[in-house]
Amino acid sequence: MSIAPLIILFVIFYFLLIRPQQKRAKEHKQMISALQKGDSVITSGGIHGRITAVNEDSVTVEISEGVRVKVSKEAVTVRKPQS
């Protein structure tokens, strides 16, 4: 029984699924570490707002004037470009 087809299948699986996921996770981690006060963000729940405070493991997002929500840094999925 040849093991070559299994190795080829694993290599294909790695390059199509595992490696892109690792790249996305690395980019997300870099984005989270670069968050700062004043950044416009979108959370994983779809909430749009502006960061008013950055803590060690959370950020405070102002979603409307005077309405602030504290969320985990990992919940921030998109950092919108400055306009």
CB 68 within 8 A of CB 59: no
Q: Can you give the residue ranges of every domain in the chain?
A: 4-79
CB 44 within 8 A of CB 77: yes
pLDDT at 33: 95
CATH placement of domain 4-79: 2.30.30.140
Amino acid letter, residue 55 = N
**Which SS3 state, helix, strand or coil, does residue 57 take?**
coil
CB 36 within 8 A of CB 51: yes
pLDDT digits (tens, 9 = 90+) for 59-69: 999 999 999 99
Angle at 77 between CA 31 and CA 59, to 5 degrees: 75
pLDDT digits (tens, 9 = 90+) for 16-42: 999 999 999 999 999 999 999 999 999
pLDDT digits (tens, 9 = 90+) for 37-51: 999 999 999 999 999
